[in-house]
Amino acid sequence: MSDSPLPDHLRDSDTAWLLAAGVVGLLAAAATRKGGRRGYRALTGHPPPGSPQRPRASIGEALLWAAVSGAVVNLGRMLARRGLAQAWGRDET
């Protein structure tokens, strides 16, 4: 018996794991994207480009936003999935 609070039939289900990991990943991505926008505004003093094709955004601004948002969203998803794996009692190595 593991220390996981989940019942054995859920903990051992790959389908339940995939569903839970997907939901946690989406929630984390949404939350961290909002944080990334705030961070970009703090770094630059203005909101991030709404669209990379926006002519008023310089290539530097577009690249900075892509790097910041990509790093923040993926970090949030990774940390959320690690937390889920720990709670689930699952080793994702």
Structure token pair of residue 63: 């690249």
Q: How far is CA 89 from the centre of its chain?
A: 21
What is the pLDDT averaged over residues 31-44? Answer: 82
What is the pLDDT averaged over residues 27-54? Answer: 79
User: Does residue 1 surpass a pLDDT of 50?
Assistant: no
Which pTM was predicted? 0.63
What is the pLDDT averaged over residues 68-88? Answer: 85
CB 32 within 8 Å of CB 76: yes
What percent of the chain clears pLDDT 70, i.e. is strictly above it? 76
- What is the per-residue pLDDT across 12-26, written as a single tens digit (0 to 9) for each? 677 887 888 888 888
Domain residue ranges in the chain: 59-93
- What is the per-residue pLDDT across 56-68, written as a single tens digit (0 to 9) for each? 778 888 888 888 8
CA distances from 1 to 11, 15, 81 (A): 11, 20, 22
pLDDT in the model for residue 73: 85
